[in-house]
Amino acid sequence: MTGFASRYLAAALLLSLAALSTPFARAEPFRIIITEPETPLVPNAVIELADRLGYYKKAGVEVELIRVKATPSAVAALRSGQGDMANIGFDIALQLNARAQMQLRGVIVPDKALPFVIVAKKDIATPKQLEGRVFGVSQVGSVDYVQSRMVLSKLGVGIDSLRFLAVGQPMIRAQALAAGQIDATAVTLGTWLTFPNKDGLGLLVDQAAYYQAAPLITKLNVVTADTAKNRHKEVEAVVHAILAASRDFAKAPESWVDAMAQARPDVQREQLEVLARAYAKSWVVDGGLDERELEFTTDAFYKSDDFKDIPRRVLPAEWIDRSFVETALHALGGK
């Protein structure tokens, strides 16, 4: 072997070893499971917009978004290894840990309070009049199902008198309502604002009243305990990217409008501007893992009927991992 060939092979070997030691040197991308069929008209869209705007690449991680129908499907995908991180309902993650069905770690809250409203047929003037009616949900166990039950109960509605019908995603639920197939449903403010046919429909519970009845952390991003350990640097990079994008949108709401206009050309810019104003204080610029809010949300769910047969109480400290957010905050300049 010539001296040149020897030096070439040695250099190639060094480069290969360097690549193997790089945190993100993997054949496959880091896969994030989301439960929306398209970029949602809520602050939670930051998960997708961070990809579209290059925040993940800037943080040094390649990301692939995996779309599924709802939280139960996201859990199934995470369990089967089809994804590395999932944006799911807080209550579902809590139950899985409490039942020892999965070891999940909550790492960031991109949008802790989805801006739900309840819309209904115009002949339904008060929440109490929903009793005996059909309420459309994404599916049993989905975030809108769990929280709407909690909200309606707080508003004095006899939950057992309602029939909850699994219909699908928010726009499909709105269409089913307009077609008279259901009597009411909970959708995001963005879905209601952009729904083209509101004839015969009315806003029954607005965003403020819905949140006041259930001021909970709605969804968060989780990984398995194995992923938190074995792909630590990638999880760290994803959290950093989401937090950086959220901060930029909070500072310059028009940048969110610009990004959403590209992601959702079907929505008028004027409507996006209205949403940007409505979300002015909704951006999670600190990672959303406030201890008091986590404890309040945990308490609220354990008091609900859905948790009556949970074998043990799981405290936030047992499954919420703040280390990723803390690292990102340090790099981005604190809170």
Quick: pLDDT tens for 108-152.
999 877 889 999 999 999 999 999 999 999 988 788 898 899 899
| Span 272-284, pLDDT tens digits | 999 999 898 889 9
Distance between CA atoms of 122 and 200, rounded to whole angstroms? 5
In a shared domain, residues 250 and 193: no
Residue 4 has pLDDT above 70, yes or no: no
Task: Kindly state whether residue 19 falls inside one of the protein's structural domains.
Answer: no
Domain count, the chain: 2
Name the CA dihedral angle for 138, 140, 141, 145, rounded to a multiple of 10 degrees: 60
**pTM (2 decimals)?**
0.80
| Span 34-87, pLDDT tens digits | 998 899 999 999 999 999 999 999 999 999 999 998 888 999 999 999 999 999
In a shared domain, residues 79 and 122: no
The pLDDT score that the predictor gives to residue 87 is 96
Could you give the count of Cα atoms lying within 13 Å of 236 in the half-sphere of its Cβ?
16
Confidence of residue 214 (pLDDT cuts 50, 70, 90): confident
The pLDDT score that the predictor gives to residue 10 is 39
Task: Kindly state whether residue 229 falls inside one of the protein's structural domains.
Answer: yes
Q: Which domain holds residue 171?
A: 116-213
Domain boundary among 213, 236, 255: 213
Q: How does 219-236 read in b/e, with b if 16+ C-beta sit within 10 Å?
A: bbbbbbeebbeebeebbb
Give me the residues paired with residue 141 across strands.
none
Distance between CA atoms of 75 and 88, rounded to whole angstroms? 8
In a shared domain, residues 133 and 56: no
Report whether 217 contacts 294 (CB < 8 A). yes
Look up the CATH number of the domain holding residue 67. 3.40.190.10
In a shared domain, residues 70 and 82: yes
In a shared domain, residues 246 and 105: yes
In a shared domain, residues 106 and 222: yes
Task: Kindly state whether residue 21 falls inside one of the protein's structural domains.
Answer: no
Please calculate the CA angle 96-213-192 and round it to the nearest 5 degrees. Answer: 90
In a shared domain, residues 96 and 237: yes
Q: Tokens 């309602």 label which residue?
A: 162
Distance between CA atoms of 236 and 325, rounded to whole angstroms? 8
Confidence of residue 334 (pLDDT cuts 50, 70, 90): low
In a shared domain, residues 172 and 222: no
Helix 90-98 / helix 291-302 crossing angle, nearest 10 deg? 70
Non-local CB neighbours of 197 within 8 Å, separated by 6+ positions: 178
The pLDDT score that the predictor gives to residue 21 is 40
DSSP characters over 1-65: --HHHHHHHHHHHHHHHHHHHSTT--SSPEEEEE--SS--SSGGGHHHHHHHTTHHHHHT--EEE
Distance between CA atoms of 54 and 35, rounded to whole angstroms? 21
Task: Kindly state whether residue 10 falls inside one of the protein's structural domains.
Answer: no
- In this structure, what token pair is assigned to residue 99? 């039942």
In a shared domain, residues 166 and 34: no
Confidence of residue 3 (pLDDT cuts 50, 70, 90): very low
Q: How does 90-105 read in b/e, with b if 16+ C-beta sit within 10 Å?
A: bbbbbbbbbeeebebb
